[in-house]
Structures are given as structure tokens and as C-alpha cells.
Amino acid sequence: MRKHGWQLPYHPLQVVAVAVFLALGFAFYVFFAPFVGGKVFQYVVMGLYTPLVSHLSIFLLYLPYNCS
């Protein structure tokens, strides 16, 4: 029996959710950020979005090893 949701084997929806999150983060930098507007707006949007994505990514990668 599993103690928490991050124990192996992962549920298929967990794998899909992490893959979709990473794909949307990648798509933001490739498709959305270059077309925001001027360079100043690009820097502002990327400056606000990058900490959000990086912190959530680190949280998603660190959480499975922190659970007991």
C-alpha cells in the first residue's frame, strides 16, 4: 500500500500532468514570449514567469524525495 501519492509506481495521470506542465513552460518561451510586444514587455513577462516555472519545477522534482 502506498503511503503518499509520490511513491512508485506513479499514476499515469501524474506523469501526464508533469509532462503537460513542462510542455506548457517550454511553449511559453518558444511561442508566447517572443510575440508579447516590445523588448521591454518581453523582459517583464519573462521576468515574472521564469521564477514561477522554475520554482514549481524544482518543487515537483524535489517533492518525491522529501516525502517519507
What is the CB-side half-sphere exposure of residue 13 using CA atoms within 13 A?
Answer: 1
The domain spans of the chain are 12-66
Please tell me the distance from the alpha carbon of residue 4 to that of residue 61, in angstroms, as a whole number. 15
Cβ–Cβ contacts within 10 Å for residue 45, how many?
Answer: 15
Please tell me the distance from the alpha carbon of residue 21 to that of residue 7, in angstroms, as a whole number. 20
* pLDDT tens-place string over residues 11-56: 888 888 888 888 888 888 888 878 888 889 888 888 888 888 777 7
Q: Which residue has the higher pLDDT, 8 or 6?
A: 8
pTM of the entire predicted model: 0.61
